[in-house]
Amino acid sequence: MSAQAGTVPHRGIRLDSRLRATARSEWIKFRSVRSGPLALSATALTVVAGAWLLGDANRGSYLAASPAGQAAFDPVFTVLQAIELAQLFVGALGVLTVTGEYASGLIRGTFVATPQRAQVLAMRALVFAVVVWACCTAMSFAAFFLGQSALSPAKHAGIGDPGVLTAVSGAGLYLTLVGLLAMFIGVLVRHTPGALAALFGILIVLPVLFLSIIPGKITQNLGEYMPGQAGEQAFHQLHSGAYALGSWPGLGVLAAYVAVAAFAAFALILKRDA
Amino acid sequence: MIEARSLTKVYGGKAAVDGIDFQVKPGMVTGFLGPNGAGKSTTMRMILGLDRPTSGTVSIGGRRYQGQVWPLHEVGALLDARAVHPGRSAYDHLRSLAAANGIARARVDEVLEMVGLASVARKRAGGFSLGMFQRLGIAGALLGDPGTLLFDEPVNGLDPEGISWIRTFMRSLAAEGRTVLVSSHLMSEMALTADHLLVIGRGRMIADMPLSELMARDSGGRVEVRSADPQRMAADLRAAGAQVTLEPDGTLGVAGLGSRQIGELAAERGHVLYQLRDVTASLEEAYFRLTGESVEYRAAVPVAS
> Any CB–CB contact under 8 A between B140 and chain A?
yes
User: Which residues of chain B, if any, have pLDDT below 50?
Assistant: 302-305
If we measure between CA atoms, which residue out of A175, A193, A31 comes closest to residue A89? A175
pLDDT (0 to 100) of residue B299: 55
Read off the pTM: 0.85
pLDDT, one tens digit per residue, over B178-220 is 999 999 988 878 888 999 999 998 899 988 999 888 766 655 5
pLDDT (0 to 100) of residue A214: 72
pLDDT (0 to 100) of residue B298: 54
Nearest CA in chain B to A21: B100
pLDDT (0 to 100) of residue A10: 47
HEC secondary structure over B183-207: EECCHHHHHHHCCEEEEEECCEEEE
pLDDT (0 to 100) of residue B227: 92
The Cα of A2 is separated from the nearest Cα of chain B by a number of Å equal to: 7
> Any CB–CB contact under 8 A between B73 and chain A?
yes
Contact call for B99 and A8, based on CB within 8 A: no
Contact call for B70 and A9, based on CB within 8 A: yes
Provide φ and ψ at B266, rounded to 5°.
-65, -40
HEC secondary structure over A190-201: CCHHHHHHHHHH
- Looking at residue B303, the DSSP 8-state letter turns out to be P
pLDDT (0 to 100) of residue A240: 73
Cα-Cα-Cα-Cα torsion B190, B192, B193, B199, nearest 10 degrees, comes to 20
Contact call for A13 and B87, based on CB within 8 A: no
If we measure between CA atoms, which residue out of B222, B238, B221 comes closest to residue B230? B238
- By the 10 Å C-beta count (0-12 exposed, 13-18 middle, 19+ buried), B213 is classed as exposed
β partners of residue B63: B60
Distance from C-alpha of B247 to C-alpha of B229, rounded to nearest angstrom: 13
pLDDT, one tens digit per residue, over B157-167 is 788 888 898 99
Contact call for A21 and B145, based on CB within 8 A: no
pLDDT (0 to 100) of residue B216: 65
Contact call for B100 and A34, based on CB within 8 A: no
pLDDT, one tens digit per residue, over A171-209 is 999 999 999 999 999 999 999 999 999 999 999 888 888
The Cα of B174 is separated from the nearest Cα of chain A by a number of Å equal to: 9
Which residues of chain B does A22 touch, with a Cβ-Cβ cutoff of 8 Å?
A: 100
How many CB atoms within 10 Å of residue B146?
Answer: 24
β partners of residue B150: B77, B181
pLDDT (0 to 100) of residue B256: 82
Query: What contacts 24+ positions apart, CB below 8 Å, involve B115-121?
Result: B115/B139, B115/B142, B117/B90, B120/B90, B121/B89, B121/B90, B121/B91
Contact call for B147 and A108, based on CB within 8 A: no
pLDDT (0 to 100) of residue B185: 85
The Cα of B261 is separated from the nearest Cα of chain A by a number of Å equal to: 50
Distance from C-alpha of A227 to C-alpha of A205, rounded to nearest angstrom: 11
pLDDT, one tens digit per residue, over A89-111 is 999 999 999 999 999 999 999 99
Distance from C-alpha of A174 to C-alpha of A136, rounded to nearest angstrom: 9
**Contact (Cβ atoms closer than 8 angstroms) between residue B218 and residue B52:** no
pLDDT (0 to 100) of residue B294: 58
Nearest CA in chain B to A13: B69
Nearest CA in chain A to B98: A25
ipTM for the predicted complex comes to 0.89
The Cα of A94 is separated from the nearest Cα of chain B by a number of Å equal to: 16
Contact call for A28 and B140, based on CB within 8 A: no
Kindly state the average pLDDT of the residues A238-242.
74
The size of chain B, in residues, is 305
pLDDT (0 to 100) of residue A272: 94
Contact call for A113 and B80, based on CB within 8 A: no
Size of interface A-B (CB pairs under 8 A): 131
The size of chain A, in residues, is 274
Q: How confident is the model at residue A4 (pLDDT cuts 50, 70, 90)?
A: very low
> Any CB–CB contact under 8 A between A21 and chain B?
yes
For A201-244, where are the alpha helices, taking DSSP H only? Answer: 206-208, 217-224, 227-232
Which residues of chain B does A34 touch, with a Cβ-Cβ cutoff of 8 Å?
A: 87
> Any CB–CB contact under 8 A between B99 and chain A?
yes
Interface of B with A in 24-53 (CB under 8 A): 26-27, 45, 48-52
> Any CB–CB contact under 8 A between A109 and chain B?
yes
